[in-house]
Copies of this chain bind each other. A is one copy, B any other.
Amino acid sequence: MASNMYLFWGSGSVPCWKPMIALEEKGFGGYPNKLVSFSKKEHKAEDVMKLNPRGQVPTFKDGDIVVNESAAICDYLERRYGNQGTQLIPSDVKEQANVLQRMYEVSNVEGNILKELVYYIFHTKKEEQDEALLKEKYEKGRTELQIWEGYMQKMGSGAFIASKSFSMADVYFFPYLAFFVRLGLNLSKYPALSEYYNRIKDRASVKNSWPPHWAEEPSKADFMKNI
């Protein structure tokens, strides 16, 4: 079935990595795909725009069905291919509710760390960065990370971010954590997340979808060591 699928994606993009992990978990590894170059603006090229007029990746197609939003692709895959590969949304009502809660709660990681802190540093010249504001942003990011450290401590060693099994909450959360580690995050301050990170990074679905340029080039930034 995977031969009917097609994914346009960018290396290192969290929204792309999420459905790529889901595709691997559902047993669709080896699906046809195109790695687009952001610097060459290939996400605005005709082959993408034809399927996704917003000119964004991920852009995904399964036969004649087109789904482009990162979370929509994940949701679609699990609903359509629920019985295949890893079950990413548990059936047990209580466990399911916890997975849903954590999945959507990841938007706080995006808001409080990625947009608030990482984008500020990426988009503000060093000499224009406001030191007091930056300190506040690091503090806010630290508080957010500590919330997730607390969740992981509560789940216990060997468990996953929202359940005893690997779930959609891990698909949503792990790419952010890995991105922060790439940007210098020192996990020794977050022992439960450290154990989690070191275990998940070797999971087949994650290894097979690891951003290729991360494996090839060192990161140019390491400011997340300050968090």
Contact = CB atoms under 8 A, between A and B. Distances in A.
A37 interface: no
A67 B103 CA distance: 11
A97 B54 contact: no
- In the assembly, how many copies of this chain are there? 2
A2 interface: no
B108 A96 contact: no
Interface in A55-75: 64-72, 75
A220 interface: no
B76 A96 contact: yes
Interface of A: 53-54, 64-72, 75-76, 79-80, 89, 93-94, 96-97, 100-101, 103-105, 107-108, 147
Across the A-B interface, the 4 shortest Cβ-Cβ residue pairs? A69-B104, A72-B104, A72-B100, A71-B104
Given A65-B97, A76-B96, 16 more contacts: A54-B108, A54-B147, A66-B97, A67-B100, A67-B101, A69-B104, A72-B97, A72-B101, A72-B104, A75-B100, A75-B104, A76-B97, A79-B89, A79-B96, A79-B100, A80-B97
